[in-house]
Amino acid sequence: MASPEAPRERLGPLVHRAVHQGAILLLVGAFEFILGMAVTQIGYGSSYSLTQNYISDLGAVKCGEFGGSGSLPGHYACSPWHLVFNISIILLGIILIFAAILIRSAFPPRRSRTLGLFILALSGIGAMGVGFSPEDVNITIHAASAFLAFLGSGVALIILGFAMFRDTRWDGFRMYTVVSGLVGLIALALFASKVYGPLGVGGMERLIVAPILLWAIVVGIHLVRIPTYAPRTIPRPTET
């Protein structure tokens, strides 16, 4: 007798194809933004300091001193290739939003997943706001957007670290994700308190941004390497 249709089973920790697409977006977003900063800094020239300049100085559309209030002095910025930076951070924000949607099924279905990815998408909106409102165009919107991006990325990583519990696909990444979020939030607290130490204002701001960019690269590579759903046919013994 002909054997009936064989059953199909999934072997090992797998992910949906959409997760691979989201992982690739994470990688593209992180690398294009890092490249955008580097290229814009080249255009800025030797006067740009990684420790003494804000990251947002790369996006200033005019040359001049700004950011002061009352008797408090502002600071000077002049970024000829500001368009490169602003486009790159807007793209980063858009990519974070879509990536958060696409990698959803890589986490167990629980509230922490939904909340963490939602806040990650909010941080993407904050990044977009930074690019659309450079610091010398609308400092109020710019500062609020930057704060949303900074705070959102740190909080999102901590929550997503807990969302990874009891899922073998995330073995070895849970603590790394939580610690990355904590590092970003601690750096944000120091930055807001104007405690910069030897890193300077620019270095401390980069310490806020670095954890989410590095996480996007590390997790993006990890998710791309996990096989997608590919059910294998398991033949049954031929009945006689």
The predicted pLDDT at position 229 comes to 75
Q: Does residue 8 register a pLDDT over 60? A: no
Give the per-residue pLDDT at 9: 41
Domain ranges of the chain: 14-61+76-229
In this prediction, what percent of the chain has a pLDDT beyond 90? 69
Q: Helix/strand/coil (H, E, C) string of the chain?
A: CCCCCCCEECCCCCECHHHHHHHHHHHHHHHHHHHHHHHHHHHHCCCCCCCCCCHHHHHCCCCEEECCECCECCEEECCCCHHHHHHHHHHHHHHHHHHHHHCHHHCCCCHHHHHHHHHHHHHHHHHHHHHHCCCCCCHHHHHHHHHHHHHHHHHHHHHHHHHCCCCHHHCCCHHHHHHHHHHHHHHHHHHHCCCCHHHHHHHHHHHHHHHHHHHHHHHHHHHHHCCECCCEECCCCCCC
Specify whether the CB–CB gap between 115 and 92 falls below 8 A: no
Mean pLDDT, the chain, rounded, equals: 88
User: For 210-226, how does the pLDDT look when each residue is reduced to its tens digit (9 = 90+)?
Assistant: 999 999 999 999 999 98
Q: Per-residue pLDDT averaged across 44-71, rounded? A: 82
CA distance 45 to 47: 5
Q: What is this structure's pTM?
A: 0.85
> CA-to-CA distance for 67 and 111, rounded, in angstroms?
40
Report the distance separating Cα 224 and Cα 145, nearest Å.
30
Q: Give the distance, in angstroms, between the CA of residue 188 and the centroid of all CA atoms in the same chain.
A: 15
The average pLDDT across 24-51 equals 94
Of 12-16, 93-97, 231-235, the range with the lowest mean pLDDT is 231-235
Tell me the pLDDT tens digit for each residue of 58-114: 999 988 877 654 444 567 888 899 999 999 999 999 999 999 999 999 998 889 999
